[in-house]
Structure 1
Amino acid sequence: MKQKAHKRSPVVNRAVAAATALLLGAGGMVAANVYASAGTSQQGGVPQERTDRRVQSARSTLTVDCPEVVDRLTRVPRKARREVDRNLALLDTQVVQAYQRLARSRTQAANDPAFVRNAILGPLEDKRRATIGRIVTVLDRFTARPTGLDALARCAVRGGGGPRPQDGERTPAPGQDGGRDQGGGRDQGGDPGQGRNGNGPSPDDFVDIRKVRPNFSEPENGEDGSTGTFTTDCGRNENGKFNSDNVIAAPGVSNGAHHMHDYVGNQDTNAFSTNESLAAAETTCANPEDLSTHYWPVVRLRNGVQEQDANVPGGGIEGNVGEIQTPASVTLTFRGNPDAPVTAMPRFLRIITGDAKSFTNGDANANASWSCTGFEDRQLRDKYPLCPRGSQLVRTFRFQNCWDGRNTDSANHRTHVAFANEDGGCPDGFTPIPQLVQRITYDLPRGVTFAVDSFPEQLHKPITDHSDFVNVMSDDLMNEVVTCVNEGRNCE
């Protein structure tokens, strides 16, 4: 196969080498094929084409579904944070490894529910129980001992198109919830990248954008709204900086994301970055005072082309296959609040928008959206748009625009920030800050399947798209952003 070369930073090579020893031989994935009907719902101001969970799949990939422990950790003392984060990342790795075993054993899994329980879920839950126990022990040293976390060790195997089991329900047997893969199906577009090493996407994950009704408009500004914008130019990742780390969600852990990220802005960003190293780094941003880091999962063509990460964790070993696409454009804009003036973001504020595990977690935090140029009044969350000739694929990430006024991060990386409500008002105790909007476009060839990188068990579903931001602007530059936005000017 053709080899496509990308420049890769030394940190990526070190991380890849360290993680390869853990996951080599993880095996192939399972091709997904899910059929469902669609309705429309709305969350956070961006409508969503939602899969009707009542319609069960006739043919569907099995996946591993475990509760999110981090969602229960609303208070983690700073002294305990690093050890807790390492154990949370280990929980993710355990799910990935269980999914990979399930994928390698799909015939047994589809025909023998006892195999699923004894060979996959039982060992996984034992490992999770031990890891959760370590988290409880760490927290017990510094704060009140958390209760009820043991129950989160329980996991389920379900069909890729089926509903998530509710608390108290038994684990569905493969084949009883649409989980049995009948075989014989053709992947979307005959995609050669989906076969032995593929785990999605499904044909039903795509929709012709021309068939989607207009469903989105920007909120109207009130009398006291801040109507300006500030745009920063940090390039398109032309230099090819990739890694499968996540410095926000899994600091200190190589391959903590289990999928590859594009990076623009700060060139130090990896699992081992600190505030000090970020502040001392080089940047791709045109303004040298903007050392902020922006990163999101790469988009790949599922065309059978092998990337340099084809045989390493975060890449092909974990089902992230195909040719990485460099964005045609990346626009990074800070916008105001429709209801009030904004205040400065603190330096090193960390924000995650979207949820990398929305397919199994549910759509509560699924706020990334997909569209096509010329059709951006039609925004999708759980479908990939098929764009007509001459139209580019568009990903849009709208970040939380309210801050608690105290913390640059939180235990679950979410509760220190929030989205304003429809009229622009922030929740009690929160103050408006400039809203970062990342708009990324791609020129994709017609007739070739594409997919976003994801955790293996998330099956490359479009609803799992997400993006991360660390503010490393100088105080002077951030104050310039605030002034520009509050005065209603459009600045660059």
Structure 2
Amino acid sequence: MAGSGKRRRVRGSRVVAVVAAVGAVGALTVTFVSGGGRGSASAEANLNDFVPIERVAVNVPTPRLGPNASKGVFTVDCGTNRNGKFSPDNPVAQPGIRNGAEHLHDFVGNLAIDANTPDAVLAASGTTCRNGDRSSYFWPVVRIDKAVRANLGTQALGAVQPTVSCPRVADRLPAVPASARDSVRRDLAALDRQLASANARLAASRGRIDQRLNQSVIGALRAERAETIKRISRTMSGAGSRPRGLVSLVDCEVSYDGLHATHSAAPVTASGASPGVRCPSVRDKLPGVPASALDEVNRNLDLLDQQLAEANERLVTTKGQGGPNFALNAIVGPLQSKRVATLDRIAIAIGRTAPRPQGLEALAPCTLDERPVGGQPGGNNNGNGNNGGNGNGNNNAGEKPLPEPQGPNLELPNNTGRIVQPSKVLIEYRGNPGAKVTAMPRFLRALTGDAKPTSRGPANARATWTCSGFADRLSDRYPICPDGSQVMRVQDFPGCWDGRNTDSENHRAHLAFADPTTGACPQGFVAIPQLRISISYDIPRAVQLRGQYALDSFPEENHNPFSDHNDFVNVNSEKQMRRIAACLNEGRRCS
């Protein structure tokens, strides 16, 4: 079947290039795997990654509708990201890690979301969705780069040492009770030791991508972190300060950041990205908090999160307004004043029954992260630093910040060229062919596809590519469409839920895909509205034929079309989700 299935992505021209690289560096070994990467990093596409859509066999099943089928469809219009909310954050798969995706995402819906945004802040955010849906929908951008051609030179993995990157836990905790402080610190230190041990194990795969070792290391680390983070949660809850959402911080990633070293940024003088406000972290700087002050301190910590999110949302909604100092004077300055007052209230609350913490006022100033190319990040978010950080519940101590988008095209290492704005984004909640659906829970996290089939394996990767007029087939290669047909990505999310959790330790286990022919959910799961996002692009056919359009990706994926993915955070109200479920169960078409 041309262009579908879990294909072996090894091409003759690429093998020659890698063999040559082996001779040059001596130590390079590359594990080529089904469905993934080239074992190198370059900004070019590969013509073998493209296929005329007519050559792709029909492969989309049409499930038979049962007597209890929920036949309706609920459509949401959230636009096509005309406001330009782009980010290399992934709040679902890599919460708390700034620029963790290492590639750019289109965001529609929620205007406040970034890697650190708490649920309460998401619920109060503005949105691009016409019906008031505050959910966040985001996917990797597509670019056209006519300056590169397929099968040019490659940069091999020879000198690259993979490392593990994990979300920082200390930055996401509520106020730590004084009675629990020592125990929590011991467990945060244990997280650091676990990370160091995982990185020591990965040293054996220097210069190559080893799926089995990666899966073994990440699986063992996930189990250790899960137990340690649960212990932190139990300790703090018992002392009167219950953390929420810590399960989202369990999973870690294997990163090949060393491949960035060969990338040259575009010759421009300033970043074209929407600026962001960066503020020093506060949660990890507080002493143990007396029991009598916990509620007040936590209210003010939440307020700091809200203030920062509001500032960043204003940067999106006021883009292009005022003069060169508008953002500093109208957004960053007032934010600092608010933070001064909030930090003072925190110090007063603690000081009533314990020594007043000194120096919190130094955490009030924030910076506008609007840097010239090559500059360093202006500061840290209230909930998180960069993807590095120094201990206190993880991330690699001393690790360099991940790259920021650069220039008017928001380029990142190995992700270059003009971003193609979708001509249409269709967001649909769909029924189940065999059962009535249950309303989704609020703040459900979901993802589909896999951004790293090379380093993680292809088990979760999905074929998503097609052309308008060819909805009966999906390809894991970039389609070449006939005249008058648009390039499309069709991304289906899991439609079954475990009935309890809004996230899970690997961000997948709380959801499952229904049987594609019957719609049956696995045992223990219930049917929920199945999200489908269809994205259409006007890409000139000459660009398609020359292999000049490609997906943004992690460096080791090299624009692998099989690395396509999509993410979602449900911020619909409970009332709205019941309305969506009723629409589907009654067989109506709604919006």
TM range (shorter): 0.5 to 0.7
The residue type equivalent to 1:410 in the other structure is: S
Change (3 A) 1:164 1:400: closer
SS at match of 2:518: coil
Aligned positions of 1:446-461 closer than 5 A: 446-448=541-543, 449-461=548-560
Deviations 1:53-91, CA, capped at 9 Å, x for gaps: 6xx5332179xxxxxxxxxxxxxxxxxxxxxxxxxxxxx
- SS of the residue aligned with 2:428? strand
Relative to structure 1, is the Cα distance of residues 61 and 253 closer, same or farther in structure 2, using a 3 angstrom cutoff?
A: farther
Counterpart of 1:157 in structure 2: which amino acid? V
CA offsets 1:274-331 (integer angstroms, 9 cap, x no match) = 101111110000012x100000000001224969369753553421101001100011
Q: How many angstroms apart in 2 are the aligned matches of 1:375 and 1:485? A: 25
1:273-284 matched pairs, under 5 angstroms = 273-284=117-128
Q: Which has the higher helix share?
A: 2
Match of 1:365 in 2: 460
Which amino acid counterpart does residue 80 of structure 2 have in structure 1?
A: R
Q: Which amino acid aligns with 2:7?
A: T
In 2, distance between residues paired with 1:164 and 1:390?
A: 29
Which residue is equivalent to 2:12? 58
Counterpart residue type for residue 578 of structure 2: N
Aligned residue number for residue 157 of structure 1 = 30
Equivalent position of 2:583 in the other structure: 484
More strand per residue: 1 or 2? 1
- Asked if residue 308 in structure 1 is aligned to residue 272 in structure 2, the reply is yes
Please tell me whether residue 411 in structure 1 is matched to residue 255 in structure 2: no
Q: Secondary structure at the match of 2:461?
A: coil
Letter in 2 for 1:293: S
Show CA shifts across 1:326-346 (max 9, x none). 100011000111111000100
Structure 1 residues 114 and 284: alpha-carbon distance in aligned structure 2, compared to 1, 3 A threshold: same
For 2:438, what is the secondary structure of its paired residue? coil
Give 1:264's aligned residue.
Answer: 108
Residue in structure 1 matching 2:22, options 82, 106, 110? 110
The whole-number CA distance in structure 2 between the counterparts of 1:164 and 1:329 is 28
1:214 CA displacement: 2.2
Q: Does 1:48 align with 2:4?
A: yes
| Counterpart residue identity of residue 313, structure 1 | E
Q: Say which SS state the counterpart of residue 79 (structure 2) adopts.
A: coil
The more displaced of 323-332 and 297-306 is 297-306
**What code does the residue aligned with 2:68 have?**
D
Q: Distance in 1 between matches of 2:590 and 2:436?
A: 16
- Structure 1 equivalent of residue 477 of structure 2: 383
Aligned partner of 1:74 in structure 2 is none
SS at match of 2:550: strand
**Aligned twin of 1:393:** 487
CA distance in 2, matches of 1:337, 1:49: 24
Distance 1:164 1:207 in 2: 15
Whether contact under 8 Å (2:6, 2:34) holds in the other structure is: no
Distance, in Å, in 2 between the alignment partners of 1:234 and 1:316 is: 25
Task: Flag structure 2 segments of 5+ consecutive residues without an equivalent.
Answer: 149-265, 274-372, 375-402
Other-structure match for 1:241: 85
- Indicate conservation of the 8 Å contact 1:401/1:419, yes or no: yes
How do 1:160-179 residues align onto structure 2 when only pairs under 5 Å count? none
Determine the C-alpha separation between the residues in 2 that align with 1:164 and 1:264. Answer: 28
Q: What secondary structure, in the 3-state scheme, does the structure 1 residue paired with 2:139 have?
A: strand
The residue identity in structure 2 corresponding to 1:295 is: F
Q: What is the CA–CA distance in structure 1 between the aligned matches of 2:419 and 2:49, rounded to whole Å?
A: 19
The answer to whether structure 1 residue 222 and structure 2 residue 178 are counterparts is no
Equivalent of 1:463 in 562, 571, 577: 562
Provide the C-alpha distance between the structure 2 equivalents of 1:240 and 1:363, rounded to a whole number of angstroms: 31
Q: Residue type of the partner of 2:519?
A: G
Give identity over the alignment, percent.
46
Q: Secondary structure at the match of 2:12?
A: coil
Letter in 2 for 1:234: C
Q: Residue 198 of structure 1 aligns with which residue?
A: 42
Q: Is the 8 A contact 1:404 1:416 kept in 2?
A: yes
Q: Which residue matches 2:436?
A: 341
CA displacement, residues 22-68 of structure 1 (integer Å, 9 cap, x when unaligned): xxxxxxxxxxxxxxxxx46xxxxxx9244346xx5332179xxxxxx
State how many pairs are aligned.
Answer: 334
Q: CA deviation at 1:114?
A: 4.3
Please list the CA deviations of residues 333-366 of structure 1 after superposition, one character each: whole Å capped at 9, or x if unmatched: 0011111100010000000100001234332111
Following the alignment from structure 2 to structure 1, what is the Cα–Cα distance between the partners of residues 139 and 64?
Answer: 29
Q: What secondary structure sits across from 1:48 in the alignment?
A: coil
CA contact (8 A) 2:7 2:35 kept: no
Amino acid in the other structure paired with 1:232: V
In structure 2, the CA distance between the partners of 1:208 and 1:368, relative to structure 1 (3 Å rule), is: closer
- Alpha-carbon distance between aligned partners in 2 of 1:438 and 1:405, rounded to the nearest angstrom: 23
Tell me the alpha carbon deviations over residues 233-272 of structure 1, each in whole angstroms, 9 at most, x when there is no partner: 1111011110100111221211110000000000111111
C-alpha spacing 1:285/1:486, structure 2 compared with 1 (3 Å): same
Counting only pairs closer than 5 Å after superposition, residues 289-304 of structure 1 correspond to structure 2 as 290-304=133-147
CA RMSD between the two structures? 2.8
3-state SS of 2:13 partner:
coil
Residues 437, 379 of structure 1: CA spacing in aligned structure 2 closer, same or farther, 3 A cutoff? same
Query: Residues of 2 paired with 1:205 and 1:478: CA distance?
Result: 39
Pair member with larger Rg: 2
TM-fit CA distance, 1:158? 3.5
Cα distance in 2, alignment partners of residues 269 and 109 from structure 1:
42
> Taking structure 1 as reference, are residues 329 and 57 closer, same or farther at Cα in structure 2, changes over 3 Å only?
closer
